[in-house]
Structure 1
């Protein structure tokens, strides 16, 4: 199983934005130095939940600041973009990184509705826009003239420039936030990006994927390949001892929940539901404590896990130490479970 870091750096104070953005770049560089396979970027606007805001711009910066590590989107909020601009940005970043891009796409958050308002997009149209945009992206990367007449865009261009470095285009994964969307992608045999708080949750998702894909006529080899190219995102608070993880690290996660809940009633309800559960929606403890969950996750055959080490107002030093502990003590074990190459 591949391992990556998920950069989701919060900044509550506008005066701290520059510092937090540079800390995110340094965490990506640390991930590469420690031998991680990928760094994934989030997207949120207007609220400080994601300090660097614009993942294509951040990805371009990381392409220049790193040399080996793959750079992924988890995910681009596709309905907020113009399809031609998105196609150009992705192609350019793929060239700048020399083929290191992983393109994770989603319709956009249904928790932070203020983002749609800011971009003057009706949230009810998000899924339709997403489907149309993805169709246009693949046309743009074909190297052929692009003629498209749709509900939201009419496009007629001779050719998109530049074309992607990766042929025919970088790997494209869809975010799946519900079982219905997971089944929809499984029936097409497409790799996905999923969120799962536990290895058991990820295993359930993979069972659902396998069943739906098989019923759609996808071969066992095709199913294995799609799962081996899929990623699951996790949140983990890791410290040398369980006590420090719980007493020092966990409060940062709770503060993140409170901050986001104050901005969004939908997130407030989701956080309340999570906190009613028997266990919080993350892994928390020493490497020895969280080890079993990660090795069990690796045994499912999933291609990779991207771990968010920094939550809320957590200091950069705390999350950097967690990343190092993960790579020293957990990564060697989970990498033993690689079933098939993911974006090799």
Structure 2
């Protein structure tokens, strides 16, 4: 059965209102605990106000300290911007503070916002190789009882045994992001679940069919394939109102405004520096309301959730507060979703198991 979570992705357009946006995000997290969501997912973006709390590690600690049940996941930590030893320590500490309520979502970092790499003094073209090297360091640091040495392209390290040791054995639960078909199939060949970014329903369905086939071709059995799919998540923008018309009236303008805000600094940097990471000649699915937004009455949204459930995906990461949407409207949508949509898919959540 489908599982539900909330992607806490608060926008702050005015630097003087950052504190308000962060407070509202914490209130939304507490509401998610109250309503029974399984996971709160946190993003990581810098310098543009598109993710008001900026640092998901610090914000995760605040949420975990204020809650008792809900898990906190990273979707994702931009690994290429972090020192791997420090990030491994931080995740291990969160794992202990929460007694295993952390989902360590790892990714290379943004494929769009060059200014995030510039602000950290890291060449954007090194992002993928830094991520791959850092992931290996983190997994070894978590699991080595004798300490470790590492000599790589970006880090030369001599790490005594990592402290604190993880609460979850052999290490905190890890999941990887795969924004492309190639990335998803690479994880399928390794027998690993994944986080999928916003895609059209057709792309989601087709990618999961290919994921299944690739796992089977790699020698994994049907039960292993279904177990990986059950732990995989897809991201959708969601808004629920009493009627389809009311949902569209509120959600569509806020969705469009959110997309405009998310590309504003990227385009300014391109105008000033002539640098752009990914030139898009065709608008991608993530910016098209018809493909990337599920807005409607509880019955309409439940029907769209049923479509996703039929693909075999285990969970939905819902972004409920869209761009400049007032917090109270997002809260109403969250309540309607959990009171009238989620009960149609209610099932016991599977236990997290480390890789």
Quick check: TM above 0.5? yes
- The CA deviation at 1:274 is 3.9
Contact (CA 8 Å) 2:71, 2:101: kept in 1 or not?
Answer: yes
In the aligned structure 2, how far is the partner of 1:70 from the partner of 1:217? 32
CA RMSD of aligned residues (A): 1.9
Counterpart of 1:187 in structure 2 is: 189
Contact (CA 8 Å) 1:298, 1:335: kept in 2 or not?
Answer: no
Cα distance change on mapping 1:284 and 1:172 into 2, 3 Å: same
Counterpart of 2:333 in structure 1 is: 322
Alignment of 1:1-344 (within 5 A): 1-142=2-143, 143-265=145-267, 269=280, 272-274=283-285, 279-335=290-346, 341=350, 343=352
| Secondary structure in 2 matching 1:32 | helix
Deviation digits for residues 127-159 of structure 1 (CA, Å, limit 9, x no counterpart): 100110000001110133111110000110221
Count residues with an aligned counterpart.
342
Contact (CA 8 Å) 1:237, 1:250: kept in 2 or not?
Answer: no
In the aligned structure 1, how far is the partner of 2:344 from the partner of 2:310? 11
Contact (CA 8 Å) 2:140, 2:148: kept in 1 or not?
Answer: yes
| Secondary structure in 2 matching 1:237 | strand
In the aligned structure 2, how far is the partner of 1:170 from the partner of 1:270? 40
Contact (CA 8 Å) 1:185, 1:192: kept in 2 or not?
Answer: yes
- The CA deviation at 1:273 is 4.0
Contact (CA 8 Å) 1:146, 1:157: kept in 2 or not?
Answer: yes
- The CA deviation at 1:278 is 8.6
Deviation digits for residues 162-206 of structure 1 (CA, Å, limit 9, x no counterpart): 011111112111100100001100000011111244444322221
Contact (CA 8 Å) 1:78, 1:108: kept in 2 or not?
Answer: yes
Deviates more, 1:48-57 or 1:302-311: 302-311
Contact (CA 8 Å) 1:37, 1:70: kept in 2 or not?
Answer: yes
Cα distance change on mapping 1:276 and 1:294 into 2, 3 Å: closer
Cα distance change on mapping 1:302 and 1:16 into 2, 3 Å: same
| Secondary structure in 2 matching 1:292 | helix
Deviates more, 1:261-270 or 1:95-104: 261-270
| Secondary structure in 1 matching 2:234 | strand
In the aligned structure 1, how far is the partner of 2:254 from the partner of 2:345? 26
Provide structure 1 residue ranges, at least 5 long, that are not aligned to the other structure.
Answer: none
- The CA deviation at 1:80 is 0.3
In the aligned structure 2, how far is the partner of 1:214 from the partner of 1:275? 29
- The CA deviation at 1:272 is 3.4
| Secondary structure in 2 matching 1:306 | strand
Relative to the length of structure 2, the TM-score reads 0.92
Cα distance change on mapping 1:115 and 1:68 into 2, 3 Å: same
Provide structure 2 residue ranges, at least 5 long, that are not aligned to the other structure.
Answer: 268-275
Relative to the length of structure 1, the TM-score reads 0.94
Cα distance change on mapping 1:3 and 1:211 into 2, 3 Å: same
In the aligned structure 2, how far is the partner of 1:298 from the partner of 1:95? 33
Deviation digits for residues 242-283 of structure 1 (CA, Å, limit 9, x no counterpart): 122112221111111111222224689488344896924111
Contact (CA 8 Å) 2:259, 2:287: kept in 1 or not?
Answer: no
Contact (CA 8 Å) 1:176, 1:193: kept in 2 or not?
Answer: yes
